[in-house]
């Protein structure tokens, strides 16, 4: 799934977010499986959000050049129990000055249904889900 997300920066000395441009992010099967696993964990532990550390080199991401080199990268999943929907956003820190870089959130279309459909369509997907513990 491809996403184009508005990206912002907040410096340690300024509470105002500055728009940097658009980050293009592609969630592949592996990331969708991870999101499904996190969603299940959120339901199990009765919380509404959970973050996971990621390596930006491991995902397909094209961030604005003004983001600079990033560190402490995370995907944050938020579960809305009332609407039974999930969304996520990307967050990191600029290596140069420790500013927070983050994207708008994006809705994730029914993860469980996506995983179930993919699982039946591709037998190898079961191995992928097992590898991430979903």
Give per-residue pLDDT as tens, 11-55.
878 778 999 999 998 888 887 888 888 888 887 887 888 888 988
Question: Which residue matches tokens 């996520």?
Answer: 88
Give per-residue pLDDT as tens, 108-130.
765 544 333 333 333 333 443 34
Q: Is the pLDDT of residue 8 over 90?
A: yes
Residue 120: C-alpha distances to residues 5, 42, 117, 133 (Å): 30, 24, 5, 18
Q: Is the pLDDT of residue 9 over 90?
A: yes
Query: How far is Cα 36 from Cα 19, in angstroms, rounded to an integer?
Result: 30
DSSP reduced 3-state for 110? coil
Instruction: Note the pTM of the prediction, 2 decimals.
Output: 0.73
DSSP reduced 3-state for 116? helix
Give per-residue pLDDT as tens, 42-101.
878 878 888 889 887 777 889 999 998 999 999 899 988 777 788 899 999 999 989 999
Q: What is the 3-state secondary structure (H, E, C) of 16-57?
A: CCEEEEEEEEECCHHHHHHHHHHHHHHHHHCCCEEEEECCHH
């Amino acid at each position: 799934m491809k996403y184009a997300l508005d990206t912002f920066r907040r410096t340690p000395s300024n509470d105002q977010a500055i728009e940097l441009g658009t980050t293009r992010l592609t969630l592949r099967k592996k990331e969708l499986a991870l999101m499904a696993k996190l969603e299940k964990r959120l339901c199990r532990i009765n919380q509404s959000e959970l973050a996971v550390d990621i390596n930006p080199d491991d995902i397909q991401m094209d961030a604005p050049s003004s983001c600079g080199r990033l560190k402490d990268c995370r995907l944050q999943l938020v579960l809305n129990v009332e609407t039974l929907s999930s969304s996520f956003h990307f967050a990191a820190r600029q290596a140069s000055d420790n500013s927070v870089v983050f994207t708008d959130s994006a809705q994730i279309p029914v993860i469980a249904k996506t995983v179930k459909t993919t699982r039946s369509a591709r037998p190898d997907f079961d191995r992928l889900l097992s590898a991430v513990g979903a």
